[in-house]
Structure 1
């Protein structure tokens, strides 16, 4: 029998801990899975005892608070295999991107990983996967060729474009509503180096830098993936002195071209305002995590987002007003340039999103700095101001909200939500996988 931990057991709290610490969870049972067989056993146990079930790898994308049920942890499932002949990777459920980046680099390849190598591969990919290489190669989910998943009946299935076709579609964008993924197989791309890093500007330059980056982004080739972060830096010794206590604008660059052309393309950004920091250089892809240089330690946060059709002056003014230096709640804002391959439909798309959107606007606030109620109110003011130009929302960037279980109905199109509900009814009619951004099974399916 697979090991099971219950409240009061010595290792329970340690096994429950994850990167996101603001969303309380207290399952009746934690199953530390080391293999697909352990996952099968856990899902069957949940079914026999009529319990809901959730899954956690790194705990970055914890969706909703809950009490009771079964939590399967997969961080022990850490196998990585690279097939250089086919430029593909096979990873187990608990693998983080850093391990794939290092393994693929030995063969001159790279995955469509994101800004932080500590994020789990499976959760990131099932949410779509917005990569540092996204404008050139599309979503990480578009590269997936096979998914091994344990569904609510306790069966291990292999979903591909040719087998379990509806399940294969639903998992790539529908996240953990349909089962527990035990392994992913996906394509890699021939990338070893990029021109990347960040430019950092001070508080007095925020408005100028926002406008310059917005205008610059419209002219960029698809080899250029870029985002702009507005970050309230704490006045603490571990923050570099030039940035300490300032509200910093950080332009992040990942360019798949030679360094000389990269220098030419970013010249207007360097000239926008006085620089506080400049880390742009040609770097190996194994150092891609240094571009955003995100904090590696667990913390509590709430985040929301919108995809938008443009970034006009009214929108930029609203971003500065509701999330700038004078905002009531300290907020990190990220503006991501879309387009390029992100606008193109792949041969086997997952759950759709607005591929005509031009940017995302993301807002994240640390719960230590303000209460969840105040943060939610501040975020709502920002996204209400952007609503006239909003085209949708990305589920993968919704974190920490107590009512996040309602988000699915706000994210998916009516047609996609209907199809997701039909797939749910086929593989999880009892809605056992409901401790997430839940898609309820269609009641009239079949």
Structure 2
């Protein structure tokens, strides 16, 4: 049993993180600034940019209910003063609707995305991007910017790199190393509107086709995309996963996912 005194000897690790919400009308300025800024940050600073069309949920802070905003999400494993200095160029781009970036314990990491915890009906799908040059930036602005007519609840571009690109000492199932961006599209609404919502997702992801990477991030696949696990993971990873499956789940009990069948 850990006593209070013993617990005090092991303080909770901290990070500098949160989000800066900008008016959606400034999306182009914020996107271009973020795209130019993040490649110069260290591995200990990770970020993403999300274009949000938020529902009027009571769980959301007042400035965000029913709002159209651009959310730059930050997590920095380092001193808060260094984090403040690094994100200063982003804060200078436009007046913030809400700024939640602060020093925080790791136990509050979920507050960075600040997503509602109540159930909400939605459809989502994502792709990987092999690059995000200025023409891709302009295309994304066209697809989800203020003049786009898009109804997506979320379009989030995550910058990867760093440790994500390095193969671990013990091989794992991540098949997208070396691809620098993940683009996720989320459409909220009832099952009765399924086709319309999926079409709105497809419009954005198909529009980014010229920059799409062939490999796929398993986490961001729609259920109907999960049928061919061998194609998702690639031959080498799939064979290794199938071998593990044969050893630990030879009857394929755990199959309601991106199913990897046990090898014969």
TM-score, normalisation: structure 2:
0.85
Count of residue pairs brought into register by the alignment: 258
Aligned partner of 2:170 in structure 1 is: 348
C-alpha contact (below 8 Å) 1:336/1:359 kept by paired residues: yes
Query: Which one of 19, 22, 26 corresponds to residue 205 of structure 1?
Result: 26
Deviation at 1:410, TM superposition (A): 4.2
Q: RMSD of the alignment, in Å?
A: 2.7
C-alpha contact (below 8 Å) 1:322/1:378 kept by paired residues: no
Deviation at 1:371, TM superposition (A): 1.6
Query: Which one of 325, 328, 331 corresponds to residue 153 of structure 2?
Result: 331
- Bigger radius of gyration among the two: 1
Query: Which one of 393, 397, 408 corresponds to residue 216 of structure 2?
Result: 393
1:108 pairs with 2:34? no
**Structure 1 gap segments, 5+ residues each:** 1-80, 83-103, 110-191
Aligned partner of 2:202 in structure 1 is: 380
Q: How many angstroms apart in 1 are the aligned matches of 2:41 and 2:114?
A: 23
C-alpha contact (below 8 Å) 2:59/2:116 kept by paired residues: no
1:208-259 Cα offsets, whole Å, 9 max, x none, are: 1111111101100011011111110224565444334331101111111212
Query: Which one of 267, 277, 302 corresponds to residue 98 of structure 2?
Result: 277
Pick closer, same or farther for the CA change 1:341–1:105 going to 2, 3 Å.
Answer: farther
Deviation at 1:350, TM superposition (A): 0.8
Deviation at 1:108, TM superposition (A): 3.5
Worse-matched range after superposition: 387-396 or 291-300 = 387-396
Aligned partner of 2:233 in structure 1 is: 412
**Structure 2 gap segments, 5+ residues each:** none
Pick closer, same or farther for the CA change 1:412–1:237 going to 2, 3 Å.
Answer: closer
Q: Write 1 or 2 for the structure with the bigger share of helix.
A: 2
Pick closer, same or farther for the CA change 1:210–1:105 going to 2, 3 Å.
Answer: farther
Q: How many angstroms apart in 2 are the aligned matches of 1:105 and 1:202?
A: 42
Q: How many angstroms apart in 1 are the aligned matches of 2:249 and 2:65?
A: 50
Aligned partner of 2:257 in structure 1 is: 436
Q: How many angstroms apart in 1 are the aligned matches of 2:103 and 2:37?
A: 21
Q: How many angstroms apart in 2 are the aligned matches of 1:375 and 1:324?
A: 18
C-alpha contact (below 8 Å) 2:19/2:73 kept by paired residues: yes
Aligned partner of 1:5 in structure 2 is: none
Aligned partner of 1:268 in structure 2 is: 89
* Bigger relative contact order, structure 1 or 2 (CA pairs below 8 A, ≥6 apart): 2
1:219 pairs with 2:40? yes
TM-score, normalisation: structure 1:
0.52
Worse-matched range after superposition: 365-374 or 287-296 = 365-374
- TM alignment of 1:136-155, pairs within 5 A: none
Pick closer, same or farther for the CA change 1:323–1:429 going to 2, 3 Å.
Answer: farther
Aligned partner of 2:79 in structure 1 is: 258
